[in-house]
């Protein structure tokens, strides 16, 4: 802050001023414009042998002129000494990583970064053998114990070195305290710093203690203190191999083993010993307390089948006090005629962009009588996303998956014996993995702000915010100002992580009164997606032709135009309209559905008999700024008794392998002729593949009147999904071919 005094004067005559000045405080906001700086340009340390992993060599420190001088600094090593040393990123503490040294001197750089700027410093570590000091500890190795989870400062051990002269002080140092221990420099008492220790994380600490004289750093004595962390019962048993499913034959005898559960406890000794218990035997089951084996205690009735029992099992350790956990799982009673699955539970993970018709999992069940088994999905698929081969048991994806809508699906598959009708069911879990398929979307299509021309450099103007519906790193958003030719964006800077826009130069209202620029949001996925609308819609054909009778009724579908946009989200959503410069005649006779692209009649075509009506259709995306494309459409107006062919269905689909040989026939399409003379059918119908797919496919015709079939044939190798725009005598149809 910068306090100052201001006095106000009146410009009249005589000139008057305020009785007393006003105090004005100007607060200067900080921006990250300075690199951090090490406290020294170079550091040097001496490391005496023998040494151990975790021994502290030295500590580097840096300050940042920005902020409070310590904001978010990160330390790292930049050279090849990472093999022998490591550095704590937040504190700058350099420790030994590998105590096997091959040379006596190590020189390397350390870097400190504030996230935007960084600096380096040179570190030199000299490695020497410790000289004979005449000092010796009372023990070469000390042993101590401390209970885990103790948050109090506790004395662990006291070490003593001998050999010093009378009244000669010794100084004790702990070389690898690790932030959990410390030593009294004059008494040699080792104690904790109040940080609780976790035995399950680390059971033993080897502390290296050094004793030496104040004036001689190279003549020292060393001893090892082994600190054993004793166990406390602080972990409950955890069941492994979940989920559990079990089945038992209705004819099973008492004592039959049904299933075995297993729980593990991370504690030690009795604290880690686990016993198993049933909450309720349900009149039929018993549990081996030591092994966790579930056995049949009483036989079932002979006519009982397809009954499911929910068994609740407790696992309890032997600690004081004891800790426990529980699990519930189904036990199904089956008869000999019921199919038996080869697994009690099925699971699979698939990416959300998996192509439809892709097999993802095979279910296998066998009939005890050797009969065929039929498979069906009975529950868990309300959106019909999956199908199962009724005779193969292969589950396939038949509709697009979406992680953002449903990250997992739990299906129930039923296997039915073809002869007896006996059936069994099994759970199938399909986990959908996220892919980066959603670009960032700004909360507002445009942002506005008012800022004073006297604003200092670094003043916040406004903040933009974009969200991404993907997960984890795919949802992390970075911001960028898109440069323009007028260099107006040079006056502003945007924080890439927060979207905060700051002034980067002084502003002058008399020179520029308004700044307009674009901000781009990009996620961290692979490949990265952005909010930028950089693709215009592309039509499936260079032009469209269609025919109508002059007496056509309003509301008749004439033809459908289709366009695709390679962008994602709203940037890739296409809408259709008649071009704004279309003649009044076109707008009175035709309309277009903005979503589907179907051109529909709405007026009287009789005056146009024998002519061609031409116009443009515009396809626009939903991005900002909007991008669009135009395509020509020609409507041939025929007489009322003209014979117009029509396809037997609105679209056809074929599925072919990608390695299908050239010359193979894909299939045939029905082209129905309504009241058309046979001569026309045999002589005047032309069939054409009418888009870029004509380079991959060709077609030929053969006669089977009164229905004409047209075959599509491969003429070069297929690489991916193809969409044919196919027409005969100005009648169009889309044929989808999946590879």
For residues 52-79, give the mean pLDDT.
80
Which region holds residue 69: left if phi is over 0, alpha if psi is between -120 and 50, else beta? left
Spatial separation of the C-alpha atoms in residues 374 and 388, rounded to whole Å? 10
With a cut of 50, say whether residue 714 has pLDDT above it: yes
Q: What is the pLDDT of residues 8-44, one digit of tens each?
A: 655 566 666 767 777 777 776 666 778 889 999 899 9
Please give the pLDDT value at position 697.
66
Output the CATH code of domain 37-129: 2.60.40.60
DSSP string over 176-228: T-TTTEEE-TTT-EEEE-SPPP-TTT-SEEEEEEEEEETTEEEEEEEEEEEEE
Q: What is the pLDDT of residues 589-603, one digit of tens each?
A: 899 999 889 999 988
Q: Where does the pLDDT of residue 732 fall: very low under 50, low under 70, confident under 90, or very high at 90 and above?
A: very low
Please give the pLDDT value at position 45.
87
Q: Where does the pLDDT of residue 481 fall: very low under 50, low under 70, confident under 90, or very high at 90 and above?
A: confident
C-alpha neighbours within 13 Å on the C-beta side of residue 142? 22
User: Which residues, in sequence order, are CB contacts of 641 under 8 Å at separation 6+?
Assistant: none
For residues 333-355, give the mean pLDDT.
86
With beta carbons less than 8 A apart as the criterion, state whether 415 and 396 touch: no
Spatial separation of the C-alpha atoms in residues 386 and 359, rounded to whole Å? 10
User: Which residues, in sequence order, are CB contacts of 11 under 8 Å at separation 6+?
Assistant: none
Range with lowest mean pLDDT among 219-228, 372-381, 544-553, 671-680: 671-680
CATH number belonging to the domain at 136-230, selected among 2.60.40.10, 3.30.1330.20, 2.60.120.620, 2.60.40.60: 2.60.40.60
* CA 409 to centroid of chain Cα atoms: 18
Backbone angles phi, psi at 589, to 5 degrees: -95, -30
Please give the pLDDT value at position 236.
94
With a cut of 90, say whether residue 396 has pLDDT above it: yes
Q: Beta strands 246-249 and 324-334: pairing type?
A: parallel
| Percent of the chain clearing pLDDT 70 (strictly above) | 81
- Assigned token pair, 593: 């559905």
Spatial separation of the C-alpha atoms in residues 106 and 79, rounded to whole Å? 11
**C-alpha distances in angstroms, 637 versus 117, 298, 690?**
70, 85, 21
Residues recorded for the chain: 739
Gap between the terminal Cα atoms of the chain = 68
CATH number belonging to the domain at 538-646, selected among 1.10.357.10, 3.40.50.720, 2.60.40.60, 3.30.300.30: 2.60.40.60
With a cut of 90, say whether residue 604 has pLDDT above it: no
- Residue bearing tokens 């006669």: 703
Please give the pLDDT value at position 155.
93
Higher-confidence residue of 10 and 345: namely 345
| Percent of the chain clearing pLDDT 90 (strictly above) | 27
With beta carbons less than 8 A apart as the criterion, state whether 537 and 565 touch: yes
Q: Where does the pLDDT of residue 344 fall: very low under 50, low under 70, confident under 90, or very high at 90 and above?
A: confident
Backbone angles phi, psi at 679, to 5 degrees: -60, -40
Q: Where are the beta strands (DSSP E) in 571-664?
A: 574-578, 590-592, 598-601, 612-621, 628-638, 646-647, 651-655
With beta carbons less than 8 A apart as the criterion, state whether 645 and 547 touch: no
Higher-confidence residue of 71 and 523: namely 523
Range with lowest mean pLDDT among 219-228, 634-643, 675-684: 675-684
The answer regarding whether domain 340-433 maps to CATH 4.10.320.10 reads no
Tell me, yes or no, if the pTM score tops 0.75.
Answer: no
Higher-confidence residue of 264 and 475: namely 264
- Assigned token pair, 97: 């990583």
- Assigned token pair, 480: 């960028």
For residues 629-640, give the mean pLDDT.
87
With beta carbons less than 8 A apart as the criterion, state whether 386 and 397 touch: yes
With a cut of 90, say whether residue 213 has pLDDT above it: no
Helix (H) or strand (E) holding 303: none
Domain ranges of the chain: 37-129, 136-230, 238-334, 340-433, 441-522, 538-646
- Residue bearing tokens 């305020």: 18
For residues 157-174, give the mean pLDDT.
88
Instruction: Tell me which DSSP letter residue 318 carries.
Output: S
The CATH H-level superfamily of 238-334 is Cadherins (2.60.40.60)
- Are domains 136-230 and 538-646 of this chain identical in fold? yes
CATH class of segment(s) 441-522 = mainly beta
Please give the pLDDT value at position 249.
84
With a cut of 50, say whether residue 447 has pLDDT above it: yes
Please give the pLDDT value at position 188.
92
Could you write out the three-class secondary structure of 326-361? Answer: EEEEEEEEECCCCCEECCCCEEEEEECCCCCCEEEE
Strand order across the 74-77 sheet: 42-49, 118-129, 105-113, 74-77
């Amino acid at each position: 802050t910068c306090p100052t005094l201001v006095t106000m004067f009146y410009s009249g005559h005589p000139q008057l001023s305020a009785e007393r000045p006003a105090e004005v405080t100007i607060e200067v906001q900080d921006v990250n414009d300075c690199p951090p700086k090490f406290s020294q340009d170079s550091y040097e340390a001496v490391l005496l042998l023998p040494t151990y992993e975790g021994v502290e060599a030295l500590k580097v420190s840096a300050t940042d002129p920005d902020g409070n001088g310590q904001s978010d600094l990160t330390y790292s090593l930049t050279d090849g000494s990472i093999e022998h040393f490591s550095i704590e990123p937040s504190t700058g503490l350099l420790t030994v990583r590998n105590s096997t040294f091959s040379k006596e001197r190590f020189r390397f750089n350390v870097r400190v970064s504030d996230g935007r700027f960084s600096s380096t410093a040179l570190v030199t570590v000299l490695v020497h053998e410790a000289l004979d000091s005449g000092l010796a500890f009372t023990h070469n190795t000390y042993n101590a114990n401390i209970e885990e989870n103790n948050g109090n400062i506790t004395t662990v051990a006291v070490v003593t070195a001998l050999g010093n002269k009378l009244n000669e002080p010794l100084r004790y140092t702990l070389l690898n305290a690790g932030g959990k221990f410390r030593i009294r420099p004059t008494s040699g008492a080792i104690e904790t710093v109040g940080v609780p220790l976790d035995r399950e994380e680390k059971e033993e600490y080897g502390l290296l203690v050094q004793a030496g004289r104040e004036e001689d750093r190279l003549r020292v004595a060393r001893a090892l203190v082994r600190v054993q962390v004793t166990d406390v019962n602080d972990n409950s048993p955890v069941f492994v191999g979940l989920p559990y499913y079990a089945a038992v034959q209705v004819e099973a005898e008492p004592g039959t083993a049904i299933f075995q559960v297993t729980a593990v406890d991370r504690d030690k000794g009795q604290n880690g010993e686990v016993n198993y218990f049933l909450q309720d035997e349900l009149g039929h089951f018993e549990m081996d307390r030591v092994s966790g084996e579930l056995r049949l205690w009483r036989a079932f009735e002979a006519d009982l089948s397809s009954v499911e029992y929910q068994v609740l099992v407790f696992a309890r350790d032997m600690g004081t006090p004891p800790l426990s956990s529980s699990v519930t799982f189904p036990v199904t009673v089956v008869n000999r005629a019921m199919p038996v699955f080869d697994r009690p539970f099925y699971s699979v993970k698939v990416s959300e962009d998996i192509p439809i018709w892709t097999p993802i999992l095979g279910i296998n069940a066998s009939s005890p009588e050797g009969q065929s088994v039929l498979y069906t999905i009975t529950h868990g698929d309300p959106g019909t996303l999956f199908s199962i081969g009724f005779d193969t048991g292969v589950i396939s994806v038949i509709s697009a998956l979406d992680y953002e809508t449903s990250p997992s699906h739990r299906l129930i598959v039923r296997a039915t014996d073809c002869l007896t009708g006996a059936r069994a069911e099994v759970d199938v879990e399909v986990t959908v993995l996220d892919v980066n398929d959603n670009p960032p979307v700004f909360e507002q299509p445009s942002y506005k702000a008012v800022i004073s021309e006297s604003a200092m450099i670094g003043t916040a103007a406004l903040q933009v915010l974009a969200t991404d519906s993907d997960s984890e790193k795919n949802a992390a958003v970075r911001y960028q100002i898109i440069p323009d030719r007028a260099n107006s964006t040079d006056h502003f800077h945007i924080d890439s992580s927060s979207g905060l826009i700051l002034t980067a130069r002084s502003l002058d209202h008399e020179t520029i009164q308004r700044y307009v620029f674009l901000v781009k949001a990009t996620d961290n996925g692979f490949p990265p997606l952005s909010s930028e609308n950089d693709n215009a819609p592309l039509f499936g054909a260079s032009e469209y032709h269609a025919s109508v009778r002059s007496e056509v009724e309003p509301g008749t579908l004439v033809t459908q135009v289709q366009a695709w946009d390679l962008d994602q989200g709203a940037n890739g959503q296409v809408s259709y309209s008649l071009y704004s410069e279309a003649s009044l005649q076109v707008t009175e006779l035709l309309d277009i559905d903005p979503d589907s692209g179907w051109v529909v009649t709405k007026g009287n075509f009789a005056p146009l008999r024998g002519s061609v009506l031409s116009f443009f259709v515009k396809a626009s995306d939903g991005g900002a700024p909007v991008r669009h494309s135009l395509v020509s459409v020609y409507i041939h107006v025929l007489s009322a008794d003209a014979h117009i062919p029509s396809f037997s269905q609105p679209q056809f689909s074929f599925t072919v392998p990608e390695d299908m040989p050239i010359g193979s026939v894909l299939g045939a399409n029905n082209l129905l002729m309504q009241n058309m003379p046979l001569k026309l059918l045999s002589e005047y119908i032309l069939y054409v593949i009418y888009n870029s797919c004509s380079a991959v496919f060709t077609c030929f015709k053969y006669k089977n009147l009164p229905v004409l079939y047209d075959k599509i044939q491969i003429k070069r190798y297929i690489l991916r999904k193809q969409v044919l725009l196919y027409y005969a005598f100005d009648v169009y149809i889309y044929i989808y071919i999946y590879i």
